[in-house]
């Protein structure tokens, strides 16, 4: 019935990664490891993560006509992602500057580059692709108006999954389309406003659900996740204990796995449980896309 299992609308970046003993304070210089360059960006990450799991996946994005752009296109294609809706030009490929400390925690600064030139017109040009999957996912490393336009183009019955990262205030039209809205604690507080979330993740999920999404998932890292649905209550989803090496891109792996499993007809808590295992597997390896597991590796976890 569908050409794809999942279509991702989002960013594609080159990740420039340096390991550090500790992140510098203001005005301080610290020495780090050799620079490593990896394909990344939340959109490309999600597309590769889903394809690695076995989903038929397409990406709607924009890269530069430069070596970083070619790196991304090669990585996407080798993972099995359809890149027919990835445009090139208008600006250099986006770049993420990432420092990773010994615990695996990271800090990231993003230069959007071509991602900032992914326009509503690009979404309209990709309408056939957007209407060719049961689930479409997006993030906010591309212009908000492009995400909104993509939602308007979806076929009736298509499920829209949004991870609002980096977070910002969302219009009601976009919030009401989310099924689910996927956030961590920081993103939840930005979207809902400090002081309105309550004392724990279950209360955060309920508060966000009251803003209009059809469902909500709050991710808790090693603590798993909480799901909330208007007609299904609130469910705590456990994670898997692993030795974390690098958390870069783990949230993208979680979102991709969740979106794919929802498209297969799984319930939100069951899909979130699977996604938590995928995210746990991803943090045991360095990098973003290079860390994403196959379905067989997730089953063995």
pLDDT in tens, 81-98: 999 999 999 899 999 898
With respect to residue 29, please indicate whether it lies within any of the assigned structural domains: no
What's the pLDDT at 247? 75
**Considering the chain, what is the average pLDDT of its residues?**
92
CATH number of the structural domain spanning residue 181: 3.40.1190.20
Nearest to 50 by CA among 150, 133, 126, 110: 133
Least confident of 63-67, 73-77, 189-193, 204-208: 189-193
Listed residue (97, 96, 100, 98) closest to 22, CA to CA:
100
Query: Please, which residues have CB within 8 angstroms of residue 178's CB and are 6 or more apart in sequence?
Result: 160, 161, 162, 213, 214, 215, 216
pLDDT of residue 196: 66
Determine the Cα angle at 177 with ends 110 and 54, to 5°: 65
Residue 28 lies in a domain: no
Residue 213's pLDDT is what?
A: 96
| Phi and psi, residue 217, nearest 5° | -125, 125
Q: Is 155 left (phi over 0), alpha (psi -120 to 50) or beta?
A: beta
pLDDT of 219 over the 90 cut = yes
Mean pLDDT of 18-46: 93
Q: Give bridge partners of residue 32 from the DSSP assignment.
A: 20
* 239-252: average pLDDT: 81
Residue 225 lies in a domain: yes
In a domain, 277, yes or no: yes
Banded pLDDT at 72 (limits 50, 70, 90):
very high
Catalytic residues, which ones? Answer: 252
In a domain? residue 27: no
Q: Where in the sequence is the domain holding 146, given as residue range(s)?
A: 6-20+34-300
Nearest Cα residue to 275 out of 204, 236, 225: 225
Extract the tokens encoding 21: 């003993």
Spatial separation of the C-alpha atoms in residues 97 and 113, rounded to whole Å: 13
- Given a cut of 80, is residue 238 above it in pLDDT? yes
Number of folded domains that form the chain: 1
| Within a domain: 254 | yes
């Amino acid at each position: 019935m569908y050409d794809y299992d999942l279509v991702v609308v989002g960013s594609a970046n080159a990740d420039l990664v340096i390991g550090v003993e500790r992140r510098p304070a203001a005005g301080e210089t610290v020495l780090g490891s050799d620079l490593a360059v990896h394909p990344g960006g939340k959109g490309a990450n999600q597309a590769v993560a889903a394809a690695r799991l076995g989903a038929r996946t397409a990406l709607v994005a924009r890269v530069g006509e430069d070596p970083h752009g070619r790196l991304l296109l090669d990585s996407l294609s080798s993972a099995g992602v359809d890149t027919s809706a990835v445009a090139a030009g208008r600006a250099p490929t986006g770049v993420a500057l990432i420092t990773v400390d010994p615990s695996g925690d990271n800090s990231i600064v993003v230069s959007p580059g071509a991602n900032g030139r992914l326009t509503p017109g690009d979404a309209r040009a990709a309408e056939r692709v957007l209407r060719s999957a049961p689930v479409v996912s997006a993030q906010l490393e591309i212009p908000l108006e492009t995400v909104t336009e993509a939602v308007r183009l979806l076929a009736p019955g298509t499920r829209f999954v949004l991870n609002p990262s980096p977070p910002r205030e969302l219009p009601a039209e976009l919030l009401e389309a989310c099924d689910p809205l996927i956030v961590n604690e920081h993103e939840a507080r930005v979207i809902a406003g400090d002081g309105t979330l309550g004392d724990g993740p279950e209360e955060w999920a309920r508060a966000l659900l009251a803003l209009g999404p059809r469902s909500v998932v709050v991710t808790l890292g090693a603590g798993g996740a909480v799901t909330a649905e208007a007609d299904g209550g609130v469910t705590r989803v456990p994670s898997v204990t692993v030795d974390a090496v690098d958390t870069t891109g783990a949230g993208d792996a979680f979102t991709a796995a969740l979106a794919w499993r929802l498209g297969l007809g799984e319930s939100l808590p069951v899909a979130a449980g699977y996604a938590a295992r995928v995210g746990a597997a991803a943090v045991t390896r360095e990098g973003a896309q290079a860390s994403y597991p196959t379905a067989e590796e997730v089953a063995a976890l």
